[in-house]
Structure 1
Amino acid sequence: MELSPMIARYITMTNYEDLPDEVISFTKLCILDYFGSAFAGAKKEPIQMIDELVKEMGGEEQATLVTGGKSSVMNAAFVNGAASHIVELDDIHKASIIHAATVVVPAALAMAEWKALSGKDLITAVAIGYEVCYRIGEAVTPSHYYYWHNTATCGTFGATAASAKLLGLNEEEIIHALGNAGTQAAGLWEFIEDGAMTKQLHPGKAAMNGVISTILAKKGFTGARKILEGNRGFFKAMSEKYDENKVINRLGEEFKIVENSFKIHASCRHTHHAMDLMIELVKEKQINVADVDNIIVRTYQVAINITDNVDPTTQYASKFSLQFCTALALLKGQGGLDDFNDATLWDEEIRSLMERVKVVVDPEIDAAYPEKWGAKVDVHLKNGSIITKQTDFPKGDPENPVTSDELIDKFMKLAKDLPIEQRKIFASRVLALETLDTISELFESVKTIDSLG
């Protein structure tokens, strides 16, 4: 059977009643975590530019913007997707290398608010969206990831799946929606070479394109039926090696959303393993930075491809520098949102320590990727001794989890521009989404959302 029809059948056949309690609870945490990043990102300059764009272009007031006000469903997905990615604290799935929340949740939120759907509808759509994009991401990883940003490319399918569920598309319509989603899937890594703002277009456009594909399909607009496995389709065009079976193996028998990882450091996930190890050293008081001669970070090739930057010149570039993040974590003992700023970027002590950080590929760690995003760090001291630490799973992975209380605390900190009482009410409503008759009830609890933009 062709892949798109199988995915379409899965989407139409999966309902709220099919979700295990664990999946329902976990999905709500993913949605809350999304909002923390979105609220924190709303005021960032690139997001303000995107917000200005959509407001200049205009749009029916169908869905809420985290930057304030309302606009069309497409515009809301665009703005809210971009906003949730910029502070680098959004979730991540190891096997597919996708930040699903930043593409799936904004598309689903906009659609659910527009159609006055319930919290149960939203939970179901988000779980389905994660499932679809994760499976497609796993099928093309890791070869796809060298040039293509999986969140943008594979994420487009997840946004489409969630939107299609909410709009009530039938199987034939979903096939066409997926076809048109795949032809719009894009997002190149070249922006990382000069720290361009382009990365924020990736989740925003993926969420927006998912909405566009779904609404057009509902109107009868057709798309390629074999967009994934076709001779000129997604797999052959955008990956050197792929595994179609990963799309359909145990589809409907498991929910991959519970494999999701959450971020606690405000930087690229490929830096977190080393940061965790440095912070452990600080907490254990094993080291005095003045005694450090050099640090060798041994990790997997992809981490080096994305984060080997010995001289970041912008705050955003510093989040993609394994050398900077390692030095920052050792010197500050943390790597939260407020730790990445111009002061730390040009801090002489951090810069000096960065010069002594070397990153290399470890064959064993590389072979275990992407199932394990590990690192081994050797800290060479001036007295000749070496302190070695290793991890296979950064903090926030399912194998090294954060608690629900930690995620709630993360949301409260990221949404700090909202009054404390509104944050508490908003979080409680997200965690009780299944009781909401309409998604508008969620946004009604945030009376000052306009102050974020």
Structure 2
Amino acid sequence: MTQDTTGHDLAELFAAHAVRTRLADLSPGAVAAAQTFLLDTLGVAIAGSSGANVHTVLDLARQWGPGEEATAWLGGQRMSAGSAAIVNAYLIHCLEFDCVHERAVVHPMATLLSALFAWCEREAARGRPVRGDRFLAAMAVGVDTAGLLGVATDSALRFFRPATAGGFGATAAIANLAGFDIVTTRSAFGHMYGQTSGNLQAHLEGSPLLGLQIGFNARGAIAATDLAAAGMQGPLDVFTGRYGYFKLIEQDVHPERVAAVLGQEWQIEKLSHKPFPSGRLTHGVVHGLRDLMATHGFAAEAVAEVVVRAPPLVLRLVGRPDMPDPASNYAKLCLPFVAGVFLARGRCDVPDFRGEALRDADVHRYAALVRLEPDGNTDENTLDPQAVTVRLKDGQALSITLPRIYGHPAVPLTQAENEEKFLRCCRNAVPPVPPARAARVQALVAGIAGLPDVAELVAAVAGPD
């Protein structure tokens, strides 16, 4: 179905959730997950300073919105809140290293945190600092909104949900902090819908526009809440109306799924880490190769073929052919290339997807050994289970079935692994982040619930040292 015939008004449900939620409402697991993925996302953004086109985005964003409202985390330059949101969203997503809600096929934190921090900095400049406990609650609201917009649909991905659903998540989070009532929040959703953008053509071509689309929606969330706060009414039935989100952008909607869990199951607890800086849909082959090599003790040189049996989402979005000289964005979204990186180097890390590493002959030689097959799954929004079979040159065939992929809440990174990823991201930044500043960021995140002004965390992320 494409319209709500169940009696559930999604705009009303999401708005009421945004209005009422405070930190005390969150489960202990949700609070812990918020801190975990806050640190993870800030680390990924710091490493994003090494990404392609970041200085072009920075220079243009400053022209689009000069000012002193908020901070671009790349170099600490000040600009308008909307422009800072664009830069910081791009930093978070440009390495394909940010966390993901797998069932929703949404990277909620990129749009959410870039918009939320910029809005909070602007509030602090106006003498209205935002406390850390309120910030954590707003994060949970934003992830619930973005995540459940994805969970509510069974339709195949046609638009880029991290941008489209992410914009509504950021809008809900800002509405929570701004103290909006339900009507004003619904109006803000309407203004966000008018700016919603994000196509999959950028994903198909590996274009840097992919991360920019997240930034555009982050900026849109700030503008949407500003318009609503000023009293301008936006359209109200934006999700299930005749020309609403679930008619034009998504289809096959099931609003009852949202009603059943909103405020009961915190979607921030369902986020998956990205242990590798590549499309999440490429992680299964790395997980499978890692475990098979550890269990059976064979070297990469012994591999004759790698066969990955996976759901249609995997084949459609990352089953693209290897290219001899790929752009970084393309390589991160090419499963054969990512498998080739792991076989050639025994790792998948930030330096493996830039510069001369993209043209490494060994990587491409191993990538040519990878073959993808459909597994018969009919779910258009799942990445698992996956099966990886390695055929060795001596004739052995070794297989592993992965019900969940490393990084999923069922196969999570440990706290030590999360912290190691953050510190590795700091070392991969350009220039590298000094250990003292990295430790400062970690300490502020650990104590964020008692932080009187979250803008203090932005200052630590952006420097100077």
In 1, Cα distance between the equivalents of 2:24 and 2:389?
50
Question: Do structure 1's residue 64 and structure 2's residue 71 form an aligned pair?
Answer: yes
Is 1:101 the counterpart of 2:116? The answer is no
Q: Equivalent residue for 1:219?
A: 230
Code of the residue aligned with 1:84 in structure 2: it is I
Alignment of 1:185-334 (within 5 A): 185-284=196-295, 286-312=297-323, 313-334=326-347
Determine the structure 2 residue equivalent to 1:12.
19
Instruction: Tell me the secondary structure at the aligned position of residue 241 of structure 1.
Output: coil
What letter matches 1:154 in structure 2?
Answer: A
Partners of 1:13 and 1:248 lie apart in 2 by 15
Q: Which residue of 1 aligns with 2:401?
A: 390
**Residues 284-325 of structure 1: CA deviation (Å, up to 9, x unaligned):** 353233332222111011111111222232222111111111
Structure 1 stretch 354-363 or stretch 150-159: which is displaced more?
354-363
Match of 2:95 among 87, 90, 93: 87
Q: 1:422 aligns with which of 416, 431, 437?
A: 437
Is 1:28 aligned to residue 39 of structure 2? no
- The one of 332, 337, 351 aligned to 2:350: 337
Distance 2:108 2:245 in 1: 19
SS at match of 2:412: coil
The alpha carbon displacement at 1:449 in A equals 2.4
Q: CA deviation at 1:371?
A: 5.3
| 1:42 maps to which of 33, 40, 49 | 49
Q: Is the 8 A contact 2:385 2:401 kept in 1?
A: yes
* TM-aligned CA deviation for residue 367 of structure 1: 4.1
Residues 1:53 and 2:60 aligned together: yes
CA distance in 2, matches of 1:431, 1:114: 23
Contact 2:10 2:239 in 1 (8 A): yes
Q: Counterpart in 1 of 2:120? A: 112
Output one character per residue of 1:106-138: Cα deviation in whole Å (capped at 9) or x when no partner. 111112222211111111111100001111111
CA contact (8 A) 1:107 1:162 kept: no
TM-score by length of 1: 0.94
**How far apart are the structure 2 equivalents of 1:99 and 1:195?**
17
Measure how far apart 1:369 and its partner are. 6.4
Distance in 1 separating the partners of 2:285 and 2:97:
16
Answer whether contact 1:282 1:333 (CA < 8 A) is retained.
no
CA distance 1:89–1:141, change in 2 (3 Å): farther
User: Cα deviations across residues 198-245 of structure 1 (Å, max 9, x unaligned)?
Assistant: 112121112111111111100011111110000111101123422122
User: Would you say 1:73 and 2:81 are equivalent positions?
Assistant: yes
Query: Which amino acid letter does the alignment assign opposite residue 435 of structure 1?
Result: G
8 A contact 1:271–1:325 mirrored in 2: yes
The structure-2 alpha-carbon separation of the partners of 1:249 and 1:242, relative to structure 1 and needing over 3 Å to count, comes to same
Which of 159, 170, 179 lines up with 2:190 in the alignment?
Answer: 179
Residue deviations 1:74-107, cap 9 Å, x none?
Answer: 1121111111001111000111011111011111
In the alignment, is the contact (CA less than 8 A) between 1:89 and 1:265 conserved in 2? yes
Q: Secondary structure at the match of 2:254?
A: coil
Deviates more, 1:81-90 or 1:185-194: 185-194
* Contact kept in structure 2, 1:95 and 1:141, CA below 8 Å: no
Alignment equivalent of 1:152, drawn from 138, 156, 163 = 163
Give the secondary structure class of the aligned counterpart of 1:184: coil
Within 1, Cα distance between the matches of 2:212 and 2:395?
Answer: 48
Cα deviation for residue 46 of structure 1 reads: 2.1
Asked if 2 retains the 8 angstrom alpha-carbon contact of 1:153 and 1:206, the reply is yes
2:456 aligned partner: 441
1:136 aligned to which of 145, 149, 152: 149
Give 1:353's match in structure 2, choosing from 366, 371, 396. 366
- The amino acid across from 2:17 in the alignment is Y
Give per-residue Cα distances to partners, 1:339-394, cap 9 Å, x unaligned.
Answer: 2234332222222222221111111xx24664552321111123322111121211
> Could you say what secondary structure the match of 1:162 adopts?
helix
Q: Which deviates the most, 148-157 or 369-378?
A: 369-378
Instruction: Label 1:156 to 1:359 Cα distance change in 2 as closer, same or farther (>3 A).
Output: same
- Residue identity matched to 1:54: A
Following superposition, the deviation at residue 450 of structure 1 comes to: 5.3
Distance in 1 separating the partners of 2:354 and 2:52: 14
Partners in 1 of 2:403 and 2:35 — Cα distance? Answer: 27
Measure, in 2, the Cα distance between the counterparts of 1:81 and 1:122: 18
Does the CA-based 8 Å contact 1:273-1:391 persist in structure 2? yes
Residue identity matched to 2:463: I
CA contact (8 A) 2:314 2:383 kept: no
**Aligned CA distance change for structure 1 residues 300 and 317 (closer, same or farther; 3 Å):** same
Asked whether the equivalents of residues 88 and 268 of structure 1 are also in contact (C-alpha less than 8 Å), the reply is yes
**Structure 1, 249-258 or 82-91: larger mean CA deviation:** 249-258
| Corresponding letter in the other structure for 1:134 | G
CA separation in 1, counterparts of 2:182 and 2:243?
22
Amino acid at match of 2:160: H
Percent of aligned pairs with the same amino acid: 25
- What value does the CA root-mean-square deviation take over the aligned residues? 1.8
Q: Say if 1:142 and 1:428 are closer, same or farther in 2 by CA, change over 3 A.
A: farther
TM superposition shift of 1:141: 4.2
One-letter amino acid matched to 1:121: R
1:173–1:131 Cα change, 3 Å: same
